[in-house]
Amino acid sequence: MSLQRFPHVPGLLFDPTYFAPPECAGLLAHSLRLYERLEVAVGEGGASEQAHIPQPAYVRSADHNLASEERFVRVALSEAQGRTIRAEYFPRYGEDGHSLGYFQRDANLPDFVRDELVPGVHGLVASEGLVTPEQELTWKLTANFYRRANGRVAGFPFHVDIPSNGVVTMILNVQREALFQIAKGGAVTDIMLPVGALLLLSGESRYEWKHRVLPSEAPSGRAGHPVERVSLVLGYQ
């Protein structure tokens, strides 16, 4: 596997065809079911809590940035073989139309992520020398669900992932093409993320550059499932 590099953005790696279409279809089906289960869990009750999400000063702008305070609900979901996983679910995160599920530590990963995603990405980061093949890692998953809002498919404002998300950010795009931007100072780099892409931020690109996903045009015709785009983001400690 040969990953694309961006010399002016240290630590940024890109594979536009990491997943084959059948793999994406399977991951998407699992992800949409996960979204439905999270929504049901929230509807069954549970008080929302406020999360403080600190952002460095260089992320903030007058017109487009992630707020520092978001609200979430703690949920528990049942997986196979009697396993219970726990997550923090943000019904609205950053922008209207964006929901986010945060799963911390291996014991709370959904089955399909633990079994179908983690082994492959562990091998990838090992092949890049970021970890050793036998190194034990503690994984975190952020599942992003984007719906229609104001006539467009929602995006994700400029932000830097908080340190507890892991030492790398691996964005796995499993539904609908999206425009990703990464910026530092006056330099902005656009990367189109096709379905099946993997984008990995490590080192400087992970900690010193802010990034976002822009809203996109909603497909014509009547919407089917309320979620129009899914990205799965993995990190590890």
Q: What is the mean pLDDT of residues 120-128?
A: 96
Instruction: Return the pLDDT at 221.
Output: 66
- Are the beta carbons of 11 and 30 closer than 8 angstroms? no
Assigned token pair, 11: 């630590």
Helix segments in 70-215, DSSP class H? 111-112, 118-127, 203-207
Task: Please give the model's pTM, rounded to 2 decimal places.
Answer: 0.93
Assigned token pair, 76: 């528990």
Q: What is the mean pLDDT of residues 70-78?
A: 93
Domain membership flag for residue 71: yes
- Are the beta carbons of 173 and 213 closer than 8 angstroms? no
Measured between alpha carbons, how far is residue 77 from residues 37, 98, 115 in Å?
7, 21, 17
How many structural domains does the chain have? 1
Q: Does residue 146 have a pLDDT over 90?
A: yes
Measured between alpha carbons, how far is residue 85 from residues 35, 135, 170 in Å?
14, 24, 21
Domain membership flag for residue 215: no
Domain membership flag for residue 158: yes
Instruction: Return the pLDDT at 212.
Output: 95
- 75: which residues sit within 8 A by CB, 6+ positions away? 38, 41, 42, 46, 86, 87, 88, 89
Q: What is the mean pLDDT of residues 152-158?
A: 94
Q: Does residue 219 have a pLDDT over 80?
A: yes
- Are the beta carbons of 15 and 4 closer than 8 angstroms? yes
Domain membership flag for residue 37: yes
What's the rounded Cα separation, in Å, for the pair 221 and 237? 43
Q: What is the mean pLDDT of residues 91-112?
A: 95
Instruction: Return the pLDDT at 63.
Output: 46
Domain membership flag for residue 232: yes
Q: What is the mean pLDDT of residues 147-174?
A: 94
Band the pLDDT of 210: cuts 50, 70, 90: very high
Q: Which amino acid is it at 91?
A: P
Q: What is the mean pLDDT of residues 128-143?
A: 96
The 10 Å Cβ neighbour count of residue 17 is 12
Q: What is the mean pLDDT of residues 59-69?
A: 54
pLDDT 10s digits, 21-55:
999 999 999 999 999 999 999 988 777 888 877 77
Domain membership flag for residue 12: no
What's the rounded Cα separation, in Å, for the pair 49 and 71? 5
Q: What is the mean pLDDT of residues 68-79?
A: 88
- 161: which residues sit within 8 A by CB, 6+ positions away? 169, 201, 206, 233, 235
Q: Does residue 224 have a pLDDT over 80?
A: no
Instruction: Return the pLDDT at 148.
Output: 94
Query: CA triplet 179, 193, 209: central angle to 5 degrees?
Result: 65
Assigned token pair, 89: 């679910």
Q: If we measure between CA atoms, which residue out of 96, 154, 90, 125 comes closest to residue 18?
A: 125
Domain membership flag for residue 207: no
Instruction: Return the pLDDT at 6.
Output: 96
Domain that holds residue 62: 19-169+226-236
Percent of the chain with pLDDT over 90: 79
Q: What is the mean pLDDT of residues 66-90?
A: 90
Domain membership flag for residue 162: yes
The 10 Å Cβ neighbour count of residue 42 is 18
Percent of the chain with pLDDT over 70: 92
Measured between alpha carbons, how far is residue 190 from residues 6, 8, 179 in Å?
11, 13, 7
Instruction: Return the pLDDT at 220.
Output: 77
